[in-house]
Chains A and B, each alone.
Chain A
């Protein structure tokens, strides 16, 4: 019996070797396939150029709104906004991307915004130039995506001031603050006007820039009235124009 067992063990050792070799081969193959699949997965993540391109489209829509507001606030027609966005949507459709990008938009309308545009320049102490648009981006490709987002571009000017001096010669000091989307912003140009005999006269101001969107402006003028009406006309670095009027009283 012992001899038979020994004999069997001796005979099957070669087969065992083959089985072990097969097992090792399977282990090597499965490990290699796992590493390969992992690589393919990482690669497909990396090849998501479509997803990478969505921030580019958002940037384009933002720049299109800035361009439109710069145009409208400098005297352009309000229809420029929709015309520019239509042109952008058309250009997006013509791109040679792996996916098709369809951009739809709706101009915001409420008590302030009309056809996506709000220009408030006659209020006391502040002026607003703003555009507000809702976007719907549809991406058709390997993966279909729908993305809704809204963009608001706003330049706000706040101005207040006082004057010192007796008689007609008045030294007027103004503080002007500029904001882009609520954040302090720099001005490209500030023009100050004061009212004299129901006409706006350009002042020759001295402007002190604090570098944080705040400007201290002073000028001297011969004004007979007790209150000095001023107008601060500002163009920000993006080319968006806005102005604010204020009444300065004696300090």
Chain B
């Protein structure tokens, strides 16, 4: 009887050990993943850098002053990596939308977009300050 009990205890102990190890795996696997968040931050950084690049020599401000929306769309398409969808909205300092054309490359999945806010000052002798809202998403 005692020998038979010992065998059962061994099985229970082994079972317990397996449960402990697997629960450790299970808990580790359920830690929230940062990959998506990091990807969003990377995308925001890429978008901000693209806008900064366009604004560095006054090109962006000049295009907005002259309402050259297609030039901005083409420049952004070139600067952003392929597979990134964007939609840019330009406001004046009173937050009135001024772009009369859609500045976007393709359909944007509204649920998985990254938002970048940018401020652009035109080098024109007439001072103009613009606020840009860039929505970005990775195309499926």
Decide: B14 and A17 in contact? CB cutoff 8 A: yes
Instruction: Verify if A24 is at the interface (C-beta below 8 Å from B).
Output: yes
Interface string of B34-63 (1 = CB under 8 A from A): 100110011011001001100110100100
Find chain A residues with CB under 8 A from B9 CB.
Answer: 14
Q: How far is the CB of A78 from chain B (nearest CB, A)?
A: 14
With A32-B28, A66-B58 already in contact, the answer to whether A25 and B23 are too (CB < 8 A) is yes
Find chain B residues with CB under 8 A from A90 CB.
Answer: 93
Contact partner, A64, options B44, B95, B121, Cβ 8 Å: B121
Contact partner, A40, options B23, B34, B128, Cβ 8 Å: B34
Docked Cα-Cα span, A42 to B33, in Å, equals 12
Decide: A42 and B125 in contact? CB cutoff 8 A: no
Find chain A residues with CB under 8 A from B6 CB.
Answer: 11
Interface string of B98-125 (1 = CB under 8 A from A): 0000000000000000000111111111
Decide: A25 and B34 in contact? CB cutoff 8 A: no
Find chain A residues with CB under 8 A from B56 CB.
Answer: 59
Docked Cα-Cα span, A95 to B117, in Å, equals 8
Decide: B124 and A14 in contact? CB cutoff 8 A: no
Decide: A67 and B42 in contact? CB cutoff 8 A: no
Interface residues of A in 27-52 (CB under 8 A from B): 28-29, 31-33, 36, 39-40, 42-43, 46-47, 49, 52
Decide: A14 and B129 in contact? CB cutoff 8 A: no
Q: How far is the CB of B136 from chain A (nearest CB, A)?
A: 13
Find chain A residues with CB under 8 A from B4 CB.
Answer: none
Interface residues of B in 1-48 (CB under 8 A from A): 6, 9-10, 13-14, 16-18, 20-21, 23-25, 27-28, 31-34, 37-38, 41-42, 44-45, 48
Which of chain B's residues has its CB closest to A62's CB?
A: B121
Instruction: Verify if A18 is at the interface (C-beta below 8 Å from B).
Output: yes
Find chain A residues with CB under 8 A from B37 CB.
Answer: 43, 47
Decide: B10 and A14 in contact? CB cutoff 8 A: yes
Which of chain A's residues has its CB closest to B95's CB?
A: A94
Find chain A residues with CB under 8 A from B117 CB.
Answer: 95-97
- Residue picked from A56, A80, A84, A97, most chain B C-beta under 10 Å: A56
Find chain A residues with CB under 8 A from B48 CB.
Answer: 49, 52-53, 56
Decide: A56 and B41 in contact? CB cutoff 8 A: no
Instruction: Verify if B126 is at the interface (C-beta below 8 Å from A).
Output: yes
Decide: A18 and B20 in contact? CB cutoff 8 A: yes
Decide: A39 and B129 in contact? CB cutoff 8 A: no
Decide: B28 and A239 in contact? CB cutoff 8 A: no
Docked Cα-Cα span, A25 to B37, in Å, equals 28
Decide: B129 and A87 in contact? CB cutoff 8 A: yes
Docked Cα-Cα span, A55 to B21, in Å, equals 49
With A17-B13, A17-B14, A95-B131 already in contact, the answer to whether A239 and B121 are too (CB < 8 A) is no
Decide: A17 and B123 in contact? CB cutoff 8 A: no
Instruction: Verify if A88 is at the interface (C-beta below 8 Å from B).
Output: yes
Find chain A residues with CB under 8 A from B13 CB.
Answer: 14-15, 17-18
Q: Apart from A29-B24, A60-B121, list 7 A-B contacts with CB within 8 A.
A: A18-B20, A42-B38, A46-B38, A55-B52, A56-B51, A88-B121, A91-B131
Sample (12) of A-B pairs whose CB atoms are under 8 Å apart: A14-B9, A18-B16, A18-B17, A43-B41, A52-B45, A56-B48, A56-B118, A60-B129, A63-B61, A63-B120, A67-B123, A68-B127
- 8 closest pairs, A vs B, by CB? A32-B28, A21-B17, A14-B13, A25-B24, A46-B41, A63-B121, A70-B125, A28-B24
Interface residues of A, Cβ cutoff 8 Å to B: 11, 13-15, 17-18, 20-22, 24-26, 28-29, 31-33, 36, 39-40, 42-43, 46-47, 49, 52-53, 55-57, 59-61, 63-64, 66-68, 70-71, 74, 76, 80, 83-84, 87-88, 90-92, 94-97, 238-239
